[in-house]
Amino acid sequence: MHSIKSLLVAFLTSSMIVPPNFLELPNQSVLRLSQQRSTLDQLKGIFRPKRRPGSTRGPVCLITPGMRPKQMPFSDTPSVLSDRPLFVWRTPVARVQVQLAKNKQVVWNQILPEGTQRVVYQGQPLEAGKTYQVIAFGRQGDPLNVGEDAQFTLLSTDEREEMLQRLMALETDLDNQQKSAETIAIAKAIELSNSSLFSDAYQVLDALPQKSPQLTNFLANLPASICGKQYEAGSFRLPNTTN
């Protein structure tokens, strides 16, 4: 009988039939990690913002806000949910200025510590439905980006309220299921990405105090994907226009 049982176990655990751990029940941490990876894979499939042409951007690349879906023309302005958005650049900037796109009225101006590549907007909450422009400045006081590529429009009041309620309901549901903070953040990022709010999706993920290696790697690879390889950390290379 013992011999038959041994043969049965060997047959069931054969790598030609099923994985070697087929007979082992995964514990909660393994299940959670598996679910987290599949959720992150889902996010990767959705989170594919359009790369902007480097030749129109100047020597700095603004990653957020302003990422846009692939189907959106560059002439259209992307939407943002947060009235206190996160600004992330591919290269360091010395000063940041936020102004209304329509009349150039400055709503926030901030000198930044040397080497700064990210800062959360600290001015008065931005107004729903209005379009803003982010201007980055170098150490010599020169503007590093020009044109309309650093513009974004805050969602209307109704659109913001609807999205915020959807995110709150999603978080409550997953929290009741005792999902991890990262799983909840990824689920919210998926919801935002499905509505083409890529900058807000990035901000939700970036705000996590602790991130898994998989999520950390995902976020670390985004700048090169969004900005292109000509934007290196701390340097700028003009695009090759001869090809």
**How does pLDDT run across 135-184, given as a tens digit for each residue?**
999 988 888 876 656 889 999 999 999 999 999 999 999 999 999 999 99
What pLDDT, on the 0 to 100 scale, is given for residue 16? 35
Least confident of 62-71, 151-160, 234-243: 234-243
Query: With bands split at pLDDT 50, 70 and 90, how would you rate the model's confidence at 242?
Result: very low
What pLDDT, on the 0 to 100 scale, is given for residue 23? 31
Nearest of 45, 69, 54, 72 to residue 218 by alpha carbon: 45
What pLDDT, on the 0 to 100 scale, is given for residue 42? 76
Which residue segments constitute the domains of the chain, with CATH numbers given?
32-50+57-230 (2.60.40.10)
**How does pLDDT run across 179-219, given as a tens digit for each residue?**
999 999 999 999 998 898 999 999 999 999 999 999 999 89
> How far is residue 25's CA from residue 123's CA, in Å, rounded to a whole number?
52
The tokens of 32 are what? Answer: 């959670």
**How does pLDDT run across 70-115, given as a tens digit for each residue?**
777 777 888 999 999 999 988 899 999 999 999 999 999 999 999 9
Predicted structure pTM score: 0.75
Cβ contact 227:54 at 8 Å: yes
The tokens of 210 are what? Answer: 């602790």
Residue carrying the six token digits 């510590």:
113
> How far is residue 109's CA from residue 97's CA, in Å, rounded to a whole number?
4
Statement: residue 129 has pLDDT above 90: yes
Least confident of 17-21, 50-54, 100-104: 17-21
> How far is residue 96's CA from residue 88's CA, in Å, rounded to a whole number?
11
**How does pLDDT run across 38-50, given as a tens digit for each residue?**
677 777 777 766 6
Statement: residue 223 has pLDDT above 60: yes
